[in-house]
């Protein structure tokens, strides 16, 4: 999208790593007997060529830093998971 001759003006995206972590948390929650929603929405974000160029973004790490909404989802975090992460 940032190449001078790119036809891309905009796209929508989610962070695939965040989606994967959400899937693992959801599976762990189900195994642990937690009630989880049947459908989970990881909200996609609009990413424009102009935004990428203005913020000099060349990779996903830079994009998440500039657009934090793309980062970690707050869905299906249970208190016991936070305890496990801290160990």
Give residue-wise pLDDT tens across range 23-66.
999 999 999 999 999 999 999 999 999 999 999 999 999 999 99
Q: What is the pLDDT of residue 42?
A: 92
> Total structural domains in the chain?
1
- Residue 4 in any domain: the answer is no
- Pair of tokens at residue 32: 């642990």
Q: What is the pLDDT of residue 2?
A: 92
Q: What is the pLDDT of residue 85?
A: 86
Q: What is the pLDDT of residue 54?
A: 97
Classified as helix, coil or strand, 58 is: coil
- Residue 3 in any domain: the answer is no
Whole-model pTM: value is 0.80
- Residue 31 in any domain: the answer is yes
Q: Which domain holds residue 60?
A: 10-86
- Residue 5 in any domain: the answer is no
Q: What is the pLDDT of residue 82?
A: 87
- Residue 66 in any domain: the answer is yes
Q: What is the pLDDT of residue 45?
A: 95
Taking the alpha carbons at both ends of the chain, their separation in whole angstroms is 41
DSSP 32-55: TT----S------EEEEHHHHHHT
């Amino acid at each position: 999208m940032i190449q001078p001759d790119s036809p891309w003006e905009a796209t929508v995206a989610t962070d695939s790593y965040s989606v994967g972590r959400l899937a693992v948390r959801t599976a762990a929650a189900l195994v642990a007997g937690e009630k989880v929603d049947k459908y989970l929405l990881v909200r996609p974000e609009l990413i424009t060529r102009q935004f990428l160029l203005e913020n000099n973004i060349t990779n996903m790490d830079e994009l998440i830093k500039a657009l934090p909404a793309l980062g970690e989802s707050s869905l299906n975090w249970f208190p016991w998971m936070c305890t496990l992460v801290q160990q």
